[in-house]
Structure 1
Amino acid sequence: MAAAQREVWTGAQLRRLLIDKAGHELSSASISALMTKQPNQVKLETLAALCTALQCTPNDLIEVDTSPVTQPIAPTQTRTIARTAGEQISPAGRTPPPF
């Protein structure tokens, strides 16, 4: 991680660096989440502040998996229609209502 390369090992160090170099303040909980797990989302303002504070680019902070995702093929449904002698089928494939 970019923080480790710049010898930022604790949340307190990162918090001070963000305030001093980027003028951006994050809560202790937000700093902890950034340091311990992969966030689901990050505000662009926060990303820019991290890049400024750590003197890096977003590419140094974000790892994107670009491998293709394989999706299961939906099974095709086959329908069997039982017909009686003389039964008419409408163009839409439906039988008319009985009279």
Structure 2
Amino acid sequence: MIKKMGYAWHLRKLMADRGMFQTSDLVPLLAERGITLSREQVYRLVTQPPQRMSMDTFVALCDILGCTPNDLIEPQVVNVQQPKTAGGETATPVTSKRTVIRRPGHS
């Protein structure tokens, strides 16, 4: 079985919970923590899940929002696939059953 993982990005919701409704509100708060991002970069960070982000930025966001990494990112299973056989069919899981050997004359 192959599990494809993804995640939900909750930055926008956490900002709204704290009364921050403009993406540009983050720019000076990040700068106070030594993170220099353009308004466009911050906009993308807020409006779409990032594929890459520095740990410094991630930690700064947690500090600004008073949250933990688990509050920002929620891991999710996106897709579950069964492995394919050489013929292209879905493989059925192999289950093992204990074998009992009985000798004649013994129970």
Matching residue within 7, 12, 17 for 1:5: 17
| C-alpha distance in structure 2 between counterparts of 1:31 and 1:64, whole Å | 22
Structure number, greater radius of gyration: 1
Q: Is the 2:30–2:61 contact (alpha carbons within 8 Å) kept by the matching residues of 1?
A: yes
Q: Whose strand fraction is larger, Structure 1's or Structure 2's?
A: 2
1:19 equivalent in alignment to 2:26: no
Q: Is the 2:24–2:43 contact (alpha carbons within 8 Å) kept by the matching residues of 1?
A: no
Q: TM-score, normalised by structure 2?
A: 0.59
1:61 equivalent in alignment to 2:72: yes
Number of matched pairs: 76
Q: Which runs of 4+ in 1 moved over 4 A?
A: none
**Residue-by-residue CA offset, 1:19-77 (whole Å, 9 max, x unaligned):** 24x34221112101012111112111100010111111111111211477324413349
CA RMSD of aligned residues (A): 2.2
Q: TM-score, normalised by structure 1?
A: 0.63
| C-alpha distance in structure 2 between counterparts of 1:68 and 1:10, whole Å | 33
2:52 matched to which residue of 1? Answer: 41
Between 1 and 2, higher relative CO (CA 8 Å, sep ≥ 6) is seen in 2
* 3-state SS in 2 of match to 1:64: strand
